[in-house]
Homo-oligomer: A and B are copies of this chain.
Amino acid sequence: MSAEDWLKNSIMAKRALAKGATGTTHGLTIEQQGGFHYVYGPYAKPTLSIDPGGVVVVETEDAFGGVITSESDSPTAKLNFPYLNPQCGPIAVKGAKKGDCLAVYIRDVETRGAQPAGTTCIIPEFGGLVGTAATAMLNPPLPERVKKLHVDRNGVRWNDKITLPYEPFIGTIGVSPEIEAISSLQPDYHGGNMDLPDVAPGAIIYFPVHTEGGLLYVGDCHATQGDGELSGVAMEQRATVTLQIDLIKNWSFAWPRLETRDFIMTIGSARPLEDAARIAYRELVRWMAADYGFDEIDAYMLLSQAGRMRLGNMVDPKYTMGASILKNYLKA
């Protein structure tokens, strides 16, 4: 089965209005976007309104808004909180209403812009192994440090000896809450800054719709990232993101879901980290019960033997984990 073949049997193909078929392609360049957004909310006008099945080719800015241009830059001096992690969109999907679900098939994430195209850095009081605004400490911070690296489809050149594979994904993507406007630095039930490497080309991510049109935002692509995004910063890059966006009517659930050829995944974001894991696994139990015929307790017992858990981030305002099970095991 090719990477594409499974799509014909995906949930998107089976349940969405366009049946997974590709509609009109739309561009959303930096120029077309105009200003970026720094919250996920219903208070912004759509930059684009598309039919179910439409493809959108979005140019995204990096998480720093592109201001870290040299290894001698000071992140503290350059970054202007809360105007971080600029987001494109929102993209409205015609006919989407509260109680529906957006299906977003990620076709591609391509590095954009001049080399060195990848940036990572140490930002004081931010990261997984330092005191932060929330895990407040009196210790002195780590010194700032910036790395600018060559990134392309052949890999991320960490240094002369190490090239990491190019394993791109979308760090921040989601839909608008009903009434909240949530910082683009935060992941939550609406998606947002999940920093979960499974949100990658080849996957379909499903978001429950909370407001008219769904209002999809996207930004913050990574060329690669370790589990947890330990220092708080991945291999940040500007990117060209190709999304195919479909609409499933009357499919509602609490947290984002994801499908690949091999597995289904539920995504939870919370603190402490065990609560992110609990959310993800409970959603998976509920999904297995609702759509695959499992008794809840049997699903729970099976996941105890065969569930898989991916750590997305352990650095953002909420931590993110993705719980998954192979499709092979979805036989109650």
Q: Which residues of A contact B (CB under 8 A)?
A: 38-39, 41, 43, 82, 120, 122, 127-131, 133-143, 145, 147, 156, 158-159, 161-162, 164, 178-183, 224-235, 254, 268, 270-275, 277-279, 281-283, 285, 296-297, 300-309, 311, 314, 319, 328-329, 331
Could you jot down 17 A-B contacts, CB within 8 Å? A131-B139, A135-B275, A136-B279, A136-B283, A137-B278, A142-B297, A147-B301, A158-B302, A162-B329, A225-B304, A229-B304, A230-B300, A231-B300, A271-B271, A272-B274, A273-B274, A309-B311
Q: Is the CB of B137 within 8 A of A140?
A: no
Contacts A304-B225, A304-B226; is A135 near B138 (CB within 8 Å)? no
What separation, in Å, do the CA atoms of A277 and B301 have in the docked complex? 25
Which residue of chain B lies nearest to A282 when distances are taken between CB atoms in the complex?
A: B136
Question: Residues of B contacting A225 with CB < 8 Å?
Answer: 304-305
Shortest Cβ distance from residue A60 to the other chain B in the assembled complex, whole angstroms: 19
Q: Is the CB of A297 within 8 A of B227?
A: no
Which residue of chain B lies nearest to A118 when distances are taken between CB atoms in the complex?
A: B305
Q: Is the CB of B180 within 8 A of A134?
A: no
Q: Is the CB of B182 within 8 A of A180?
A: yes
